[in-house]
């Protein structure tokens, strides 16, 4: 299991514990935790509605893929630590990270 913190659109923070041995994406965990993540494209890196900002722990996650960057760079609000939650896999690299929701909410 890996533990990380999620900050919602109102600034409320909650610690989340997720299995790191199932190949799940951060988007799937956020949706399962009932966060308002649209994920319109279903995790294909085509819509950017699962946009998150990694507030702490970005160094451990590595670089975004070209497909991910293509979507992020088209957003009206893009940060150097922006990622698409559908492209971030749950792994020990997320341990202790702080993730802020940035995508559209429902």
> pLDDT for 40-95, tens place per residue?
999 999 999 999 999 999 888 878 899 999 999 999 998 999 999 999 999 999 99
Q: Is the pLDDT of residue 30 over 70?
A: yes
Domain boundaries, the chain: 2-101
* Cα 10 from Cα 101, distance rounded (Å): 9
Q: Is the pLDDT of residue 12 over 60?
A: yes
Tokens representing residue 18 in the block = 């997720």
Tell me, what's the pLDDT at 80?
92
Tell me, what's the pLDDT at 62?
79
Confidence of residue 98 (pLDDT cuts 50, 70, 90): very high
CATH homologous superfamily of 2-101: Beta-grasp domain (3.10.20.30)
Tell me, what's the pLDDT at 105?
60
Tell me, what's the pLDDT at 33?
96
Residues 103 and 35 sit within 8 Å (Cβ to Cβ): no
* Cα 68 from Cα 83, distance rounded (Å): 7
* Cα 54 from Cα 95, distance rounded (Å): 12
Own/partner pairs for 8-17, CB < 8 Å, 24+ apart?
Answer: 8/35, 8/36, 8/101, 9/36, 9/101, 9/105, 13/98
- Pairing verdict, β 51-56 and 82-84: antiparallel
Q: pTM (2 decimals)?
A: 0.93
């Amino acid at each position: 299991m890996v533990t990380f913190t999620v900050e919602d659109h109102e600034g409320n923070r909650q610690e989340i514990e997720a299995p790191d041995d199932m190949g799940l994406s951060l988007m799937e965990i956020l949706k399962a935790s009932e966060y308002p993540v649209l994920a319109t494209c279903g995790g294909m890196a085509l819509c950017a509605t699962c946009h998150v900002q990694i507030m702490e722990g970005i160094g451990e996650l590595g670089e975004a893929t070209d497909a991910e960057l293509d979507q992020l760079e088209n957003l009206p609000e893009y940060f150097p630590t922006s990622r698409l939650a559908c492209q971030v896999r749950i792994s020990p690299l997320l341990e202790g990270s702080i993730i802020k929701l940035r995508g559209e909410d429902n």
